[in-house]
Amino acid sequence: EAQVTQNPRYLITVTGKKLTVTCSQNMNHEYMSWYRQDPGLGLRQIYYSMNVEVTDKGDVPEGYKVSRKEKRNFPLILESPSPNQTSLYFCASSPISWSRGAYEQYFGPGTRLTVT
Amino acid sequence: DQQVKQNSPSLSVQEGRISILNCDYTNSMFDYFLWYKKYPAEGPTFLISISSIKDKNEDGRFTVFLNKSAKHLSLHIVPSQPGDSAVYFCAASATEYGNKLVFGAGTILRVKS
């Protein structure tokens, strides 16, 4: 089954304690992206990757890091989480589009993070 | 500055009637538009899309209309079913921006039986 998986699904942590949210896709997609969803703001892009070892900032990258060492995995790292990073996080993947707007992206089930 | 706006936070419709969800955009570079549906505790799933070279696209009960001059698109669901109750996100992309999707804030649709 084609899917994007994320772990953990729920996480409660304290300010400053480093954490990693994993993301994996089994569709051999080149493009992967992280979003956060906040009430009234929709989904905002944090970071994205066009392929292995190629990552770039999205609209709200402050306080986050990513890596893309393998095509299937795209972990999101919060080195020193703060309460304003409490949010619902989604990982997504798609084929690369070179000649038109973005292809439809496949989303993971989400990770609800609470930072106290 | 939100480039994609869904001005109705919620919409309530009777089962069997038409649901119309609206979306406005400000960036004239956008040339491809998508609608996603999201159920609680799940990720968004792709519903339907439309290219800027078209003004209408249909897929079963779902039709998306695009009015480029007004920078407005709408999603029509006919007939609405209780299982359509979800959050609907409008998203836009531009060839020049690569694979980036810009999302609206979402509209909660409730279909009453």
User: For residue range B5-25, what is the model confidence (pLDDT) as tens digits?
Assistant: 999 999 999 999 999 999 999
Q: Summarize the confidence of residues A105-116 as an average pLDDT.
A: 97
Q: A28 and A11 in contact (C-beta within 8 Å)?
A: no
Residue among B9, B89, B95 whose CB faces A101 most closely: B95
Contacts of B93 in chain A (CB under 8 A): 101-102
pLDDT of residue B96: 81
Please tell me the distance in Å from B69's CA to the nearest CA on chain A: 19
Residue B95 has pLDDT above 90, yes or no: no
At B59, list the tokens: 């897929």
Please tell me the distance in Å from B7's CA to the nearest CA on chain A: 10
Q: B64 and B74 in contact (C-beta within 8 Å)?
A: yes
- What whole-number distance in Å separates Cα of residue A51 and Cα of residue B36? 24
pLDDT of residue A100: 63
Would you list the DSSP string of A33-102?
EEEEEETTTEEEEEEEEEETTEEEE-S--TT-EE--SSSSB--EEESS--GGG-EEEEEEEE---SSSSP
pLDDT of residue A8: 98
Residue A80 has pLDDT above 80, yes or no: yes
Any idea which of A27-36, A94-103, B33-42, B89-98 has the lowest mean pLDDT?
Answer: A94-103
Please tell me the distance in Å from B80's CA to the nearest CA on chain A: 24
**Contact A97/B at CB under 8 A:** yes
